[in-house]
Amino acid sequence: MSVVRAETVPVRVESDVVVVRQTVRQWATSLGFSLVDQTKLVTAASELARNTVVYGGGGSLTLEALEDGARRGLRLRFADEGPGIPDLALALTDGYTTGGGLGLGLSGARRLSNEFDLDSAPGKGTRVTIARWR
């Protein structure tokens, strides 16, 4: 698998969530994803970007266009230096929230992705990587 193009965008304030949504949609469109897959990617990215701002205190998103033989994909890497997540299993449970939302951010993003990786610990920040293939 190889990365054929990459771009990093800041995810520091609430208005950056809109930029993330627009940027992910542009990338997904340019890579030939169907409308359904574009919507899944944008929805997952929106949830993860919001988490990055609200819980992580801001961070970044790195988008990577992937090639693996004939397969084409889009990988999104969200990173922050926030307080981290003390209980990853609990955080991935549908309905779990520390902020009064629906509690579908992480678990929803996982369902909307073909690949999902979460790396976090108290005091170490959080890294969430998702990928979708077409």
User: Would the pLDDT of 5 be above 90?
Assistant: yes
Angle at 134 between CA 128 and CA 65, to 5 degrees: 55
Using a 10 angstrom Cβ sphere, with 0-12 exposed, 13-18 middle and 19 or more buried, the burial of residue 40 is: buried
**32 and 79 Cβ atoms separated by less than 8 Å:** no
Higher local confidence (pLDDT), 1 or 127: 127
| pLDDT, tens digit (0-9, with 9 covering 90-100), for 12-34 | 999 999 999 999 999 999 999 99
Higher local confidence (pLDDT), 61 or 103: 61
- CA gyration radius, the chain: 14
Q: Is the pTM of this model over 0.85?
A: yes
Any alpha helices (H) in the chain, and if so which ranges? 14-30, 35-54, 88-91, 105-111
How large is the average pLDDT for residues 54-67? Answer: 97
* pLDDT for 87: 87
Q: Which fold has domain 2-133?
A: Heat Shock Protein 90 (3.30.565)
* pLDDT for 78: 98
| pLDDT, tens digit (0-9, with 9 covering 90-100), for 67-119 | 999 999 999 999 999 999 988 888 888 776 666 554 458 999 999 999 999 99
Contacts of 4 (CB under 8 A, 6+ apart): 65, 66, 67
What are the two backbone dihedrals, phi and then psi, of residue 97, each rounded to the nearest 5 degrees?
A: -150, 150
| Cα distances (Å, whole numbers) of residue 13 to 29, 35, 101 | 25, 27, 18
User: Would the pLDDT of 4 be above 80?
Assistant: yes
* pLDDT for 101: 54
* pLDDT for 120: 95
* pLDDT for 61: 98
Tell me how far apart the alpha carbons of residues 65 and 63 are, in angstroms, rounded to a whole number: 7
